[in-house]
Amino acid sequence: MSFPDGFLWGAGTSAYQIEGHHGRGESVWDEFCRRPGAVEGGGDASRACDSFLRWREDVELIRELGLGAYRFSTGWSRVMPEGTRADPRALDHYERFVDALLDAGVEPVLTLNHWDMPAGMSWAERSTAHAFASYAGAVAERLADRVTWWITQNEPWIIALLGYQLGLHAPGVADLGTAVKAGHHVLLGHGAAADVLHAHAGVMAGAALSLFPCDPATGSEADWAAAAGSDGYVNRWYLDPLLGDGYPADTREHWERALGHDLAFVLDGDEAAIGGRSDFLGINYYTRRVMAAAPADPFPWRVVGPSGDVARTDEGWEINPGALRDLLIGLSRRFPGTPLMITENGGVFGDAPTHDGRVHDTRRIAYLRDHVAAVGEAVDAGADVRGYLHWSLMDNFEWALGYRPRFGLVHVDYATGVRTIKDSGHYYARLIAGGGTAPALPRIEAFG
Ligand code: IFM
């Protein structure tokens, strides 16, 4: 396996999940967390990993792990506390942070919207796309001279699904029509922000999509149709317009049938304002969906698997690196000329420190090794993949699931804020030092 020169080996986090409050403006997520039962365990992100204060320590960890890139987000509600005017002190903070990364030889990968929009805003409103572009402009004004990689939107489908269709994330709306509309406005926001970013020379702008390959449960025609329908709903509805093909006709028909009306909120010119503006595609890959036909409206499909004895993370998600390899190869064939970057990939493994003070998360090591190998196979098959950013650098606030799921290469003791590099972090450091060659799985005592 040969990863190209300049391949970015890194890890990611987001502002709301790690920073803690520390004087930021009110966010839709602060409001959501106050709803009884909204967050498992009743927690909130007022402290999280305290990274707003401990950011120097985080940069040291990044350096110690030998990461070549770090994906983080600027807090929208920190930069624009009331949603309209940028707070220069917040921008000062991110400027110091970016400079520290650069001093450490780490390439910053900056996400603009990782879900923490200012309170009172909603993607159900078209005007939010413009507000987002003005926020993007304020951040770019400060940082575009030293940040090359910009992610506009993180996971448009998840924003629409959990935030507006199911009400499981902020702002807690549960209405299908609003969800489809909100998803469109998120994409419009990408287009508007990308235009603002492109006023700065050298910027690479893209969105990060959560892509879930959809496989049929059986070889029946009905299950194949279910898989194709689900693929349209989850993947193509975002992928196609972003990469210039406009909304896919089959999914558009599905929405018009399910909602009982035209998508009047998609105005003439909107698809042109979304497409043709992505310098790369960010891919967040966790697992696949196995689909079967279902009689129910509004979705004539359902997730049924995989069934049986497959490897799973502690959250129950199937571990399937082969699906990542095939996804990358498929995307590179369908969209030649669009560089790909793995902007998230990881799993929940709940290992805690043991008597020796270390975290022996051997399953995360195997997960990491196998997914990196899958990326390498895709590269060998010709896919233009520019980087692999593991999710996450450290355990953090996992939204409505609170602090239970642990995704980190670094363990965080939430009571004290103490960070401990897990065995997977040490393993990743060695993998990076070897240019992506997986070290043999060493005996546990060899780490640390
Ligand atoms: O923690 C999240 C992240 O914020 C968005 N993508 C999925 C991750 C794991 O659920």
Residue with tokens 């503006």: 277
Q: Is 19 a catalytic residue?
A: no
Residues 6+ apart with CB under 8 A from 5: none
Q: Are 433 and 9 contacting, i.e. CB atoms less than 8 angstroms apart?
A: no
Output the pLDDT for position 308: 82
How many Å apart are CA 2 and CA 8, to the nearest integer? 13
| CA nearest neighbour of 217 among 209, 207, 227 | 227
116 lines ligand 1 (CB under 6 A): no
157 lines ligand 1 (CB under 6 A): no
Q: In terms of DSSP bridges, do strands 385-391 and 410-412 run parallel, antiparallel, or are they unpaired?
A: unpaired
From 19, 107, 271, 344, the catalytic residue: 344
395 lines ligand 1 (CB under 6 A): no
Q: Is 344 a catalytic residue?
A: yes
Q: What is the pLDDT along the chain (448 residues), one digit of tens a residue?
A: 689 999 999 999 999 999 999 999 999 999 999 999 999 999 999 999 999 999 999 999 999 999 999 999 999 999 999 999 999 999 999 999 999 999 999 999 999 999 999 999 999 999 999 999 999 999 999 999 999 999 999 999 999 999 999 999 999 999 999 999 999 999 999 999 999 999 999 999 999 999 999 999 999 999 999 999 999 999 999 999 999 999 999 999 999 999 999 999 999 999 999 999 999 999 999 999 999 999 878 899 999 988 888 999 999 999 999 999 999 999 999 999 999 999 999 999 999 999 999 999 999 999 999 999 999 999 999 999 999 999 999 999 999 999 999 999 999 999 999 999 999 999 999 999 999 998 877 665 555 4
Residue with tokens 């105005």: 267
Q: Are 365 and 430 contacting, i.e. CB atoms less than 8 angstroms apart?
A: no
The CA radius of gyration of the chain, in Å to the nearest whole number, is 21
pLDDT tens by residue, 298-343: 899 999 988 888 999 999 999 999 999 999 999 999 999 999 999 9
398 lines ligand 1 (CB under 6 A): yes
247 lines ligand 1 (CB under 6 A): no
Amino acid, single-letter form, for residue 127: S
Please report, for residues 8, 64, 194, 217, the alpha-carbon distance to residue 245 in angstroms, rounded to integers and kept in the order given.
28, 43, 17, 28
Output the pLDDT for position 154: 98
pLDDT tens by residue, 218-238: 999 999 999 999 999 999 999
Residues 6+ apart with CB under 8 A from 389: 8, 10, 11, 12, 69, 71, 109, 341, 342, 343, 344, 345
Residue-wise DSSP of 219-257: S-HHHHHHHHHHHIIIIIHHHHHHTTS-S-HHHHHHHHH
Output the pLDDT for position 438: 85
Q: What residue spans of 303-406 are helical by DSSP H?
A: 321-334, 362-380
How close is the Cα of 16 to the center of ligand 1, in Å? 11
How many Å apart are CA 169 and CA 299, to the nearest integer? 21
Domain architecture of the chain: domains with CATH: 8-446 (3.20.20.80)
Indicate the pTM of the whole model.
Answer: 0.97
Q: Are 198 and 272 contacting, i.e. CB atoms less than 8 angstroms apart?
A: no
How close is the Cα of 268 to the center of ligand 1, in Å? 33
Dihedral sign for Cα atoms in the order 395, 398, 402, 406: negative
Hey, which residues does 109 pair with through a beta bridge? Answer: 71, 149
pLDDT tens by residue, 18-36: 999 999 999 999 999 999 9
How close is the Cα of 257 to the center of ligand 1, in Å? 31
345 lines ligand 1 (CB under 6 A): no
Q: Are 404 and 41 contacting, i.e. CB atoms less than 8 angstroms apart?
A: yes
Amino acid, single-letter form, for residue 219: G
How close is the Cα of 347 to the center of ligand 1, in Å? 10
Output the pLDDT for position 416: 97
CA angle 326, 329, 333 (to 5 degrees): 135
